[in-house]
Amino acid sequence: MSHFRPVALEHASRLINHGPTVLVTSADGDRRNIMAAAWSMPVEFTPPRIAIVIDKNTFTRELMLPSGRFAVCIPGAAIIDLTYAVGSVSGKDIDKFTRFGIASTVGPELGLPLVEAGCSAWMECKLIREPHTEEAYDTCFGEVVAAAADERVFAGGRWKFDDTNVDLHTIHHLGGGNFAKVSNLVAAKAL
């Protein structure tokens, strides 16, 4: 049984506003890919738009440009090793989904491969072409057209990190294969 539930698009930016490492999936025809990316962020709320750095020489970019679409899946602590693995090899010569035994579902809006097992959320995005920014800075933009999250860790437009969902806590790449994971949530008190 899937614990994933739709996320209202006005809350989609909250899925990445804390800077987690993400998995980017792409597809064009029968070719598909998955890669890890450490730099992503929301850039607009309505409609929800994100920015993500994806090197121009990656297979992901090769698939994104003609298809005009990509997805962002947010891995939890349970799949740190898998996240590092898909970020360490190119998909130009292998199907990383097959090589690493990654199960995927088909996205509801754009038909992209989405990873739910071990992930806390996903977003399907239409690529917003900005050729200068893509070429000069490897920064790509997307409009989020569908989003969902595991209700055990994100519900009502808010994250809930606690001891009951540690495997779904988001991760943050520190370099050299080292990651930090989000720990329990601390609420601010009104001053």
Residue 136: burial class (beta carbons within 10 Å; 0-12, 13-18, 19+) = exposed
Give the residue ranges of the chain where pLDDT is below 50. none
Instruction: Name the CATH superfamily housing domain 4-181.
Output: Electron Transport, Fmn-binding Protein; Chain A (2.30.110.10)
The predicted pLDDT at position 110 comes to: 98
Rounded (5°) CA angle 152-48-138: 105
Q: What is the pLDDT, as a whole number, of residue 185? A: 76
Contact 71, 125 (CB under 8 A): yes
pLDDT of residue 5: 96
pLDDT tens track for 135-154:
999 999 999 999 999 999 99
Residue 2: per-residue pLDDT: 87
* Prediction pTM value: 0.95
Boundaries of every domain in the chain: 4-181
3-class state of residue 42 by DSSP? strand
